[in-house]
Structure 1
Amino acid sequence: MNRRRWLQCAGSTLASAFGVTSLTSLMIAPSAAQTADYRALVCVFLYGGNDGMNTIVPLDTTRYNQYAGVRGALALPQSALLRLSGTDYGLHPALSALADAWNEGALAPVFNVGPLYRPLTKSEYRSAPASSPLIPDNLFSHSDQQVLWESATTHAHTRTGWGGRAAAVLGTTNPVISVGGNSRFGLSELQAPLVLPGPGATFGIEGLGDLSWAPIAARKTALEALYADGHQNKLLDAYARQQRDAFATANRLGALVKTQPGDVNAPAALTQAFAPLIADGKVSTGIGQQLYQIAKLIHGNATVQGSRQIFFAQLGGFDTHGNQVSSGNPQQGQHAALLQQLGDALACFHNAMKAIGRADQVTLFTQSDFGRTFKPNNSTGTDHAWGNRHLVLGGAVKGRTTYGTYPTLVLGGPDDVGLHEWEQHGRWIPTTSVDQYAATLLRWFGASDAQLDAILPNLVNFGSQRVLGFL
């Protein structure tokens, strides 16, 4: 086997370990513009379509009665809801761990958000042909709506994500860092996200994990020597540089990634903040592990490098078509269990950021496929809808109030896509776009208006209402 063929074969394993998905991904990322301050965005995607109707519920008598009258067996008791003081809304009781964040002014709900090309009325929706740009591609489809949320577009064939585009346009030191696997959110034209495993896992080149064994160490040395030389072929040269960067990243981050709360080198402040979720020296839930990993990366920013970071985490299981509640109790069941995991992990993460003095510099936000129908189905569950409620958390959040417009809780009303009785299920037409939601986050992150337009192509269609004011 000649030297060039060896480079091609050896590099394939290396590239796959670092999430490289195409030849264009091998190009070098833009150089970072270093600044003295630090800011991080943390996206938590709730896969399956979270039921926002039971996540944030109106408490005033008129709307609560409308809610309870339609929701029936799914309706949460008014007395059980976590009242958001100063508003007419309450959180699902499973999110009670977020009470302190609300009281601190670090938590804000955002109402009726979804993919939009421009502001859209019900009459426009009803009269528009299927091919109209006003109608997002393949509404109510999981895979397509995940793409629309992650890409902040209305076209399901969009390749890049708004997180990836933001990292590229702003020239962050690292690409989007994902602890929740590959996703569209972190893709840019030239780079895939950096996908990291959970705490306790070895992060490095496949097959080169145990460098204490001489043959493995020798193989790593040989590969590094192969990639050290330049090449006249520009593609091979770019590929070799990518492999050098991959080795350097693995060497830099390996020990940090592997650390668990029970380890002697674990940051004590993070261990204390995540204590409610720690058992036998490990974080006990999947979303908790992901947010602990992100907390470590933020705490260890001197090792991670860069003054701007975008992170991605995820929690699945929200496709609650059946048995959304348990034994007729809406405070128990699949949805409540998922929200419990989410709320507990978010609270631990926020406490961790406060403990390390980063709360004002880190903003966490939720995304999801879509909302779910206001009207339950015949299986004690809910079906696919459109507009949804989301949460934004962090010290920079202008909390203790709500943002956006809560939908009119009337089946067949002005916010329901359904016109005839058979199609009146409460699939809300969004009144806030993913673009406006993302623009608010990215403006705080440091993006200029011109950069926002480059990252979010549909933002220009919302006139002066570009940002929502929650940061």
Structure 2
Amino acid sequence: MKRRAFIKTAALASTPLLLRGFPVVASSELDSYALDRMAAAAVNCGRILVIIQQNGGNDGLNTVFPLDQWSNLFNARSNILMNQSSVLSLNANDTTGLHPAMGEMRNLYNDGKMMIVQGVSYPNPNYSHFRATDIWFTASGSNQTLDSGWLGRALDIKYPNYPMAYPSAEMPDPLAIQIGSVLPFSLQGPNMNMGYSAPDPSTLLNVINGITDPAPNSDYGHELSFLRLMKDQSNVYRSAIQTAYAVPLNSGVTYPSANKLADQLKIVARLINGGLQTPVYIVNHPRTHDTHENQVDSLDKTQGAQAINLTLLSQAIGAFQQEISFIGKEEKVTGMTFSEFGRRIKSNASMGTDHGSGAPVIFFGGALNTSPSMVANTTYPVPGMIGNSPVLPTNATVSNQVPMQFDYRQLYTTVMQDWLCMSEDEANQVLGGNYVKLPIFNPTLINSITFDENDAIQVVLFPNPSTDGIVNLKFADPVKSSIQFTIYSLNGSLIENVILYVNETLATLSLGHLAAGTYILAIDWNGKMVYKKFILQ
């Protein structure tokens, strides 16, 4: 069922159940079948992923500040940039600071419980809210349109007989729960939605119980049958969810009032405390980050719409992490924030910023690779940060974008493999290709790529090592198409993309501008992806 078909019938999909006044509904618009895939794998490793969606395109440069690029940042956005002295400093990170509204998150960073991944995007980014959100939800390329979510596809592999064979002894609880919005497309599988949705945790709704009547043999009838099936599944899991929520939790943690994100995370903490085995939760920031105007207050640039948004985010995450620590699940629960895109480097005349590309993604939890001893002398030696401050031009124009350092699918494959215990082959199947992992949870990255010797039959790289920066690729058959060559460091940092049209069997890359070292070359052509390791001397 297509996403727009879900949206048209969303009102029919709500079949709420109550958790002490908070409704939870099985929804036809839960679009994260891949989420469920990850959830299935997580059953065996007991880990939980909490995804926070920041709708509207969060301004990464007014969230995570590049202190080492300050003069260029000031030139680009003097009308919205606060004084550098207002930015929150970070331990062992002189290049980076946080918005002053993010005090709780600064504390987590300094305690080794938060990680910043800089410059996350994808090639040829899309600046439409709707399309860019679909790309992140489905894990597609900018030129692809997929009908299922990355999390949904994952659960489809792990739970091929869902929902008929579930709940089961191995998985008695929902595969994924979403709270705080209409249904995200990320939870939609190829054939079935895999999760629960609570569109508004503050609204009281009654459980809908009824007999499934025959539906007409039409498009509407087919959709109605699907929605009724979702309602039946909600009733199947109702008892387990309510039982988990009812388990006492006397942590003494005070969640902030008038903060719907905190309300959502409080429910998640209660369910985790109650022993629910659900491995994936999605919650939603209640305010838009689409700050084309009045992103800051004209008299105090530390205040305004951005400050309000980040205060809600930081206070909610801070309280949630305290409670997870009290429960004793810090090593088992990890959170991840994302927004469909960032904002442009240069501000506009309305004291705002327009749609952009690259932006930071933030992880939080007690199992991150933030130990100074673990990251020392690696590609990413700053504890709590992967990547560098975005390089900004001296005088940015409206066309300049925050540079991409990492493909967002690198984060997805890392989460699937290193956190939710999926195999490399399973992650590749979900994403439609092999992406280099990042040291978010595990510093050993190179083993995430399979350098199959059989690939030598298809592509031969020579000379290797190269002494003059010239690298040749010999293909077994004439290509007659454009090929995308992507060069990564050994730890997964994107170096550059090169697109060449190859008519026959030989392609030549001139890489003399790169420093001596070992690199990974991803070769993407005719629906194939081959990885080669090469050395420049």
TM-score when normalising by structure 1: 0.73
1:32–1:66 Cα change, 3 Å: closer
- Residue 117 of structure 2: aligned partner: 110
What secondary structure does 1:185 align onto? coil
In the alignment, residue 469 of structure 1 is paired with which amino acid? P
1:164-183 map, 5 Å: 164-171=152-159, 174-181=174-181, 182-183=183-184
- Decide which moves more: 50-59 or 155-164: 155-164
- Residue 234 of structure 2: aligned partner: 246
What secondary structure does 2:425 align onto? helix
1:248–1:76 Cα change, 3 Å: same
Extract unaligned runs of 5+ from structure 1: 1-11, 117-134, 209-219, 228-234, 260-264, 279-283, 414-422
Match of 1:267 among 245, 249, 252: 249
1:203–1:167 Cα change, 3 Å: farther
Q: Deviations over 1:335-390 (max 9, x none)?
A: 11100000110111111110101111111011102110110011110000111112
Q: Distance in 2 between matches of 1:392 and 1:167?
A: 22
Q: Distance in 2 between matches of 1:71 and 1:112?
A: 19
Q: Deviations over 1:119-139 (max 9, x none)?
A: xxxxxxxxxxxxxxxx35xx2
Extract unaligned runs of 5+ from structure 2: 1-11, 17-24, 160-170, 215-222, 371-382, 442-537
Q: Distance in 1 between matches of 2:38 and 2:50?
A: 21
- Residue 440 of structure 2: aligned partner: 470
- Return the structure number with greater strand share: 2
Q: Distance in 1 between matches of 2:65 and 2:149?
A: 31
Shift of 1:255: 6.3
- Return the structure number with greater helix share: 1
Shift of 1:313: 3.2
1:321–1:241 Cα change, 3 Å: closer
Q: Deviations over 1:99-155 (max 9, x none)?
A: 321122110111010133xxxxxxxxxxxxxxxxxx35xx21111111111222124
1:315–1:440 Cα change, 3 Å: farther
- Residue 149 of structure 1: aligned partner: 136
1:67-466 map, 5 Å: 67-87=73-93, 88-116=95-123, 135-136=124-125, 139-155=126-142, 157-171=145-159, 174-181=174-181, 182-192=183-193, 193-199=195-201, 201-202=203-204, 205-206=207-208, 223=211, 244-254=232-242, 267-269=249-251, 272-273=252-253, 275-278=254-257, 284-301=258-275, 304-306=276-278, 308-399=279-370, 400-410=383-393, 424-443=398-417, 444-458=419-433, 460=434, 462=435, 466=436
* 8 A contact 1:411–1:425 mirrored in 2: no
Q: Distance in 1 between matches of 2:106 and 2:39?
A: 41
1:249–1:178 Cα change, 3 Å: same
* 8 A contact 1:404–1:468 mirrored in 2: no
What secondary structure does 1:454 align onto? helix
Q: Distance in 2 between matches of 1:447 and 1:377?
A: 44
Q: Deviations over 1:278-300 (max 9, x none)?
A: 4xxxxx31111111111112112
1:355–1:64 Cα change, 3 Å: same
What secondary structure does 1:372 align onto? coil
In the alignment, residue 356 of structure 1 is paired with which amino acid? I
Q: Deviations over 1:207-257 (max 9, x none)?
A: x5xxxxxxxxxxx6xx49x99xxxxxxx99999876543322223324656
Q: Deviations over 1:385-433 (max 9, x none)?
A: 11111211000112333112432111688xxxxxxxxx64432342211
1:338–1:200 Cα change, 3 Å: closer
* 8 A contact 1:320–1:383 mirrored in 2: yes
- Decide which moves more: 243-252 or 367-376: 243-252
Percent identical across equivalent pairs?
25
Shift of 1:199: 4.7
* 8 A contact 2:261–2:313 mirrored in 1: yes
Shift of 1:190: 2.6
1:51-70 map, 5 Å: 51-60=59-68, 63-70=69-76
- Decide which moves more: 49-58 or 426-435: 426-435
- Decide which moves more: 188-197 or 350-359: 188-197
- Decide which moves more: 444-453 or 396-405: 396-405
Shift of 1:30: 12
